[in-house]
A and B are shown apart, each in its own frame.
Chain A
Amino acid sequence: MTTVISTRGLQKHFGRTIALDGLDLTVESGEIHGFLGPNGAGKTTTLRILLGLARASGGEATIFGRDPWTEAADLHRRIAYVPGDVSIWPNLTGGEAIDLLSRLRGGTTDKAAYRKQKERLCQVFQFDPRKKGRAYSKGNRQKVALIAAFATPAELYLLDEPTSGIDPLMEQMFNREIDQIAGDGSTVLLSSHILSEVEELCDRVSIIRAGRTVESGTLAELRHLTRTEIAFVHDPAREAAVTAIPDTHDLVIDSGRVRFTVDSDRVAGVLPELARLEVRGLTVAPPSLEDLFLRHYGDELAPVEVEVRA
């Protein structure tokens, strides 16, 4: 396995605002890497540095082992990019914009194959390429960038909140396209604050906050940090036995139902207890990254918004 993206102590200052404060990120070849963080965490800034649109104030970043700032144009032959807030040319139709971007990326040498792929993607995303840019909604502008990104194969896809404007059905289609490019061995870095999306797609995740990496690992590794929620119907006579179950947290006994959480790696230990109690209507909710997210930021969310250090 080779490293495709690597940043060490990446720094970015905008005047007095510190957008990135020592960000470490490693993405291996063939990985679908989720890049998670709350608003203003520095996801877009990181992607723009990786693309050579912005220059790091400190630290280092490499893509395919090369400098994204000085060798931007060369690297872009291997990269497809979808910006977070897609703007397109008001006077060009969507189809013209897609063709232009694909041609700039050099992806139209095989004209017939390209045309087929473009038509397929327009159909998949239910996109009308004949409208003028100014007439498209936010979601449709996003589709222009997505179709242009998928129409030409790339080794690395940098996607900044790619599904933030499109509807759930289109999101399904998006996931399918990602599966396909992953099958071809491409690498994907996908920023998001939609956690379910990352859970569904990604092999590994990095979580950042205020310009710093706070967690990085496979989903399975991160699940160790979360808790599973267990609920069942309660028999009032056995309340004492319920409270005696070991390792439970946040126990609530409420009008005939019991709810508590267990550290995810302790679930197996709790199950025999539940069998002994002969509980009914049992539900075991797997941990979501939402929980992880809230556990990391729950108590810190408020200050994050106003954090501007001199």
Chain B
Amino acid sequence: MTRLVVLLRQRIRRDRLQLALWIVGTALLAYASITAVYDTYGEEQDRREILGVAIATRTILVFRGTPNGVDDGAFAFFLLFAWLALMGGLMSTFLAVRHTRAEEEQGRAESIAATPAGRILPTTATVVHGVLANVALGLLIALALIANGLDATGSFVWGAAIMVSGIAFLAFGLFAAQLFRTSRGANGISVAFVLAAYLLRGIGDAAGTPSDDLLQVTPAWPSWLSPIGYGQFTGAFVENDLTPLLIPLAFAAALIALVFGLQAVRDQGASLIAGRAGRATAGPVLSSSFGLVWRLNTSILLSWTAGAVATGLLATSLSSVVDQAATDAPQVLETLRRAIGSEASIEEAFVAVFYGIVGVLAACCAIQVGIRARQEEAHGTAELVLGTPVPRVRWLLEYWIVGTIVIVIVLAAAALAGIAGAGSASDPESLIPNVFEAAAAQLPACLVFLGLTLLVFAFLPRATIPVGWTAVGVAAILGTWGPILQFPEWLVDLSPFAHSPVPAGGETDWTGGFWMLAIGLAAGAAAVWSMRRRELASGG
């Protein structure tokens, strides 16, 4: 017991700053968002309208939750719960992998396994540590809700639902850590699981059955596959029913039991998914440094393309639903027009919003290609390549070219998916050019991010990774939420995404696009050219 306490204390000490930021940050987010919700949707009439729009268009439900009436608590639950559960899920899986597979990978776990603490006890300590973190998160969120004047019972049900879904994700993270040899692999599959859980419940909500007054939805079966879905079934503030939480709890218990079983039988450092024997000779792709850059980025490209295809499909397939709603209930159409802006038709506005998301995905993919250049340099493999007759300038130029190619592929894949999804629309022919234009309109902003990342790589190599991700994160928030949250215009204008052309009403203003194209190309060219004078900056 005392050994367990020692291990637990070591985990808490190591994580205290990180977890404090994560837990307090999430609770603060809950507090601030609810305040904002009451400011924006103070009147019951506003809420009725937005719920009506959301239920009519369905897509909004994917990114929100299950509509359950217009009362203060229930409305906040609808808007925020899934987001908070997503945050808690990521916190839990990262925590699980950090204290298990990552430790093992670095050989630290070995020195503990050799002590009387053994192999099982550290896992036990990680389970307890993760559960405590989730209890703290649930409690703090409940308190944040109560501080906003919400009913205490409902607040605690909400907190409990966050806690339980977090514990289910914790269990999955521990399980993934058993399966994979590297913490990178375990984290990757865990993040995918959390996102899938979020999306499944989103699809469940979007495909659910609305009530006649358009204020409630009964989710469809996909929600039954997601811990976050079960959290929503509690119906906090209305039904206040804790029994649905038993299922994710049972899931977590079974998975954790399995983890202990696996931990007992496998070797230290080994994994269940063993590395296969690979090929002894290189294929034709690995015949040039360009081929290497391409090969190093294919898995990145595949994952972002998958996201873009899903988004593109949603954009047009849902537009048929929009159309349906517009004919069935003209007042919904009115509401939508008011919410989106008058010029664009509903379908166009829909496509514009969704291909804006595709643009962010393509930009992320391009940034990751730039970051790969830095990783090659820091890891030392760039030194191997540059020790052969590959000039420095050409080396970075190839990253620039591959970065541009991946942007085009991601956008093109999204456009094709959009066309495939347009089949059910009332007027697919008119939608197709619109989809293509909306996808192409994202290219300039993506090139700006690629150019920026390479420029940072050239002049401040050690800052490449943080600057790249921060830039796209901030720009995405400013560009997509800025106009809705009514940030000052100059702030929104800082985001390249805000300047992407919006095809609407048959006429598109490409001025912003051309400017960004010029900026992006100039930045990339400057970065590549600077390699003439740049040394290799390895390490750090």
A31 at the interface (CB under 8 A from B): no
Among the 9-residue stretches A85-93, A176-184, A207-215, the one with 4 or more Cβ atoms under 8 Å from chain B is A85-93
CB distance B390 to A132 under 8 Å?
Answer: no
Task: Give the contacting residue for A83; candidates B380, B389, B390, B533; CB below 8 A.
Answer: B380
Distance, CA A283 to CA B381, complexed state (A): 49
CB distance A87 to B380 under 8 Å?
Answer: yes
CB distance A95 to B389 under 8 Å?
Answer: no
Among the 9-residue stretches A71-79, A235-243, A246-254, the one with 4 or more Cβ atoms under 8 Å from chain B is A71-79
Task: Give the contacting residue for B389; candidates A96, A104, A134; CB below 8 A.
Answer: A104
Query: In the assembled complex, how far is the CB of residue B375 from the closest CB belonging to chain A, in whole angstroms?
Result: 10
Q: Which residue of B lies closest to A100 (CB)?
A: B286
- Max count, chain A CB within 10 A of own CB: residue among B295, B389, B535: B389
Distance, CA A265 to CA B386, complexed state (A): 46
Query: In the assembled complex, how far is the CB of residue A82 from the closest CB belonging to chain B, in whole angstroms?
Result: 9
CB distance B286 to A131 under 8 Å?
Answer: no
CB distance B279 to A104 under 8 Å?
Answer: no
- Report A105-141 CB contacts with B as 1/0, cut-off 8 Å: 1100000000100000000000001111011000000
Distance, CA A36 to CA B239, complexed state (A): 78
Distance, CA A103 to CA B182, complexed state (A): 30
CB distance A104 to B390 under 8 Å?
Answer: yes
Distance, CA A87 to CA B286, complexed state (A): 17
Task: Give the contacting residue for A131; candidates B277, B299, B383; CB below 8 A.
Answer: B277
Complex interface: chain A residues within 8 A of B289 (CB)? 104
Complex interface: chain A residues within 8 A of B389 (CB)? 73-74, 76-77, 104-106
CB distance A132 to B275 under 8 Å?
Answer: yes
Given A76-B387, A83-B387, A104-B288, decide whether A99 and B536 contact each other with a Cβ distance below 8 A. no
Count of residues in B whose CB is under 8 Å from the partner chain: 35
Distance, CA A87 to CA B288, complexed state (A): 19
Complex interface: chain A residues within 8 A of B243 (CB)? none
CB distance B381 to A95 under 8 Å?
Answer: no
CB distance B292 to A93 under 8 Å?
Answer: no
CB distance B536 to A54 under 8 Å?
Answer: yes
Q: Which residue of B lies closest to A104 (CB)?
A: B388
B287 at the interface (CB under 8 A from A): yes
Q: Which residue of B lies closest to A108 (CB)?
A: B287
Task: Give the contacting residue for B380; candidates A73, A77, A86; CB below 8 A.
Answer: A86
A55 at the interface (CB under 8 A from B): yes
Complex interface: chain A residues within 8 A of B379 (CB)? 87
B280 at the interface (CB under 8 A from A): yes
Task: Give the contacting residue for A99; candidates B286, B380, B381; CB below 8 A.
Answer: B286
Query: In the assembled complex, how far is the CB of residue A12 from the closest CB belonging to chain B, in whole angstroms?
Result: 10
Query: In the assembled complex, how far is the CB of residue A86 from the closest CB belonging to chain B, in whole angstroms?
Result: 7
Query: In the assembled complex, how far is the CB of residue B277 from the closest CB belonging to chain A, in whole angstroms?
Result: 5
- Max count, chain A CB within 10 A of own CB: residue among B181, B278, B295: B278
B2 at the interface (CB under 8 A from A): no
Query: In the assembled complex, how far is the CB of residue B295 from the closest CB belonging to chain A, in whole angstroms?
Result: 8
Complex interface: chain A residues within 8 A of B295 (CB)? 92
CB distance B182 to A130 under 8 Å?
Answer: no
- Report B364-386 CB contacts with A as 1/0, cut-off 8 Å: 00000000000000011101111
CB distance A73 to B286 under 8 Å?
Answer: no
Q: Which residue of B lies closest to A82 (CB)?
A: B387
B282 at the interface (CB under 8 A from A): yes
CB distance B286 to A85 under 8 Å?
Answer: no
CB distance B388 to A96 under 8 Å?
Answer: no
CB distance B182 to A134 under 8 Å?
Answer: yes
Task: Give the contacting residue for A103; candidates B286, B296, B386; CB below 8 A.
Answer: B286
Distance, CA A293 to CA B236, complexed state (A): 77
Query: In the assembled complex, how far is the CB of residue A301 from the closest CB belonging to chain B, in whole angstroms?
Result: 25
Binding site for A on B (CB under 8 A): 181-182, 275, 277-283, 286-289, 292, 295-296, 299, 379-381, 383-392, 394, 533, 535-536
Task: Rank and list the top 7 A-B pairs by shortest CB-CB distance, nearest first.
Answer: A87-B380, A99-B282, A93-B278, A104-B388, A81-B387, A95-B280, A73-B391
Q: List 20 A-B contacts (CB under 8 A).
A: A51-B387, A53-B535, A72-B391, A72-B392, A76-B387, A76-B389, A86-B380, A86-B384, A87-B381, A88-B384, A91-B296, A93-B278, A97-B384, A100-B282, A101-B388, A104-B385, A130-B279, A130-B280, A134-B275, A135-B275
